[in-house]
Structure 1
Amino acid sequence: MIARAIAAKVPFSFVAADSVYSTGEIETQLRKAGKGYVLGVASNHVFRSWGKPQPVAGTAATIAQNRPKKAWRRLSSGGGTKGPRWHDWAYLELADLEAREYNDDLAGEWTRGLLVRRNIADGSLAFFSTWCPKGTSIQKLVSVEGHRWAIEDSFETAKNELGLDHNETRSSHGWHRHVSLVMLAFAMMAVIRHRANTRPLLKKTRPRPRPKHRS
């Protein structure tokens, strides 16, 4: 899917995905295309740093456990149904690499890193492999990861309200027709909701001049 999007020149800067999509091939594709990513990984995924003053090596879980208290920042990954979605985050830059190592047409340094999210309520951790232009802030990476929530929420709405998963098609053509119609309906409903929730701009009117009274 990503290869097709790149070939079709779909405009995007980052890709966010959970651990079910794995890493490896998808990372190479995005690096060659000059695209950043925040990809979920398992707790036993191994990370290693190079070219940094303090070498780091180990599983994502081990590295996260060894991060000092000051390394964690409370940030919002975006708005949810109950307001901002707050978590504690830690970001570790592992290596700075030249983009031309993956594509001769690219230039500049990119950073390979590890992003960790900690649930405020129960302390559970989630881990993400990152790739971004050097100097990208942790807030930017957190925001990219937070976009997954909006996408997942959209799919859930499309399933519950428009029957995205209510089909018994037996061919790819039928499946594509069903999904295309549902997504078209979803897009129309999103536009209608946006317009309904947007206050119309009040036109400024000039005060009418008072009539002059002759005495």
Structure 2
Amino acid sequence: MLRRQSHAPASHHSSSDRSTLTVIHVQAPGRTENSQIGVFLAYATSRGRTLIDRRLYLPASWTDDRERCRQAGINDSVAFETKVAMARAMARRAVTDRIPFGWVTADAAYGYSKGWRFELDQADVFHVMATTRHDTVVTRWSIDHPVHDLFPGLPPQKWKRRSCGQGAHGQRIYDWARVEVRPWHREDRRHWVIARRSVRRPEEISYCIAYCPADTTLDELIRVAGSRWAVEECFQSAKQECGLDDYQVRRYDGWHRHMTLAMAAHACLTALRARELDTDKAETDPPSTSISAFPRSDA
């Protein structure tokens, strides 16, 4: 998962296909203030979630002023990069480093990038990427079909009411539907546009674009789409327990050092919690009825 996190200074089961990388992107809402904007990569499973990569975003107004950059400890080799380019680089590095995950997901600020989605397709990386209603896809009828135009007139039985996970106020329940696109792709893969419609305000619809194995169910795609919100807990715990946003750094290397240490501490706590859950489960599970003298492998 990839997302952007903004701080005012000083203020998948470990190797299963259910692990998700998410791009995280956050900024201070509703106000203008001095802040540092980072792009983070998170790793999320049903047993825990943590941040595994980070980059400080530098606007062009900074990278165009090399003297200002030098004063902040920014090397002359550091050029301007969009936040999407940073996200793509971090996801690419996760693939190269063989981090075990099954899916990539991101919010619309990143998922709207056709270039990134195409790169993930080419690498056969399964993904569910949020996008805007103005995005377009290839269908049987058009090479530039607006995603919002795929769902009007869809039979009512095509919409399924499902939860996409636990939220602060209970289950996040929406009506969901999907329409297949890019029908001339590989036989064992599918592209879908997924619509998520508010139950109380049905005029509010958001969209995702998915690339996945042909037998992937709508419920599984909903689970992956909902995993993006689990990362909010990751940020909250990293701030509260590891001081992720408790710093006064003004230099490029200082920001990365602080984030790295906070992320390492959070990853350690996450692993310890998962281990404790495993221990508790082992203590409460009934004894095996197997007559074998050897434990059965989970591999």
TM-score, reference length from structure 1: 0.76
Residue 175 (1) aligns with residue 255 (2): yes
- Which of the two has higher C-alpha Rg? 1
| Pairs aligned (count) | 193
Residue 4 (1) aligns with residue 78 (2): no
Give the deviation of 1:199 after TM superposition. Answer: 6.5
Paired residue for 1:19, among 86, 104, 108? 108
Segment of structure 1 superposing worse, 186-195 or 9-18 = 186-195
Unpaired runs of at least 5, structure 1: 100-107, 205-215
Rounded Cα–Cα distance in structure 2 between residues aligned with 1:122 and 1:186: 38
Rounded Cα–Cα distance in structure 2 between residues aligned with 1:14 and 1:77: 16
Q: CA RMSD in A?
A: 2.8
Paired residue for 1:186, among 266, 276, 280? 266
Q: Counterpart of 2:146?
A: 59
Contact 1:96 / 1:109 at 8 angstroms: preserved in 2?
no
Q: Counterpart of 1:95?
A: 182
Residue 136 (1) aligns with residue 226 (2): no
Q: Counterpart of 2:130?
A: 40
Contact 2:150 / 2:179 at 8 angstroms: preserved in 1?
no
Contact 1:16 / 1:144 at 8 angstroms: preserved in 2?
yes
TM-score, reference length from structure 2: 0.57
What letter is aligned with 1:155? F
Q: Counterpart of 1:114?
A: 193
What letter is aligned with 1:41? T
**CA spacing shift, 1:80–1:200, aligned 2, 3 Å:** farther
Paired residue for 1:84, among 149, 152, 171? 171
**CA spacing shift, 1:185–1:13, aligned 2, 3 Å:** same
Q: Counterpart of 1:72?
A: 159
Rounded Cα–Cα distance in structure 2 between residues aligned with 1:39 and 1:203: 38
Give the deviation of 1:161 after TM superposition. Answer: 4.3
Does 1 or 2 have the higher relative contact order (CA < 8 Å, sep 6+)?
A: 2
Paired residue for 1:156, among 236, 261, 265? 236
1:53-106 deviation digits (Å, cap 9, x = unpaired): xx477422232333222211011222334443221101111134445xxxxxxx
Contact 1:96 / 1:110 at 8 angstroms: preserved in 2?
no
Give the deviation of 1:180 after TM superposition. Answer: 1.8
Contact 2:139 / 2:145 at 8 angstroms: preserved in 1?
no
Give the deviation of 1:200 after TM superposition. Answer: 7.1
**CA spacing shift, 1:156–1:202, aligned 2, 3 Å:** closer
Q: Counterpart of 1:105?
A: none
What letter is aligned with 1:17? A
Contact 1:78 / 1:143 at 8 angstroms: preserved in 2?
yes
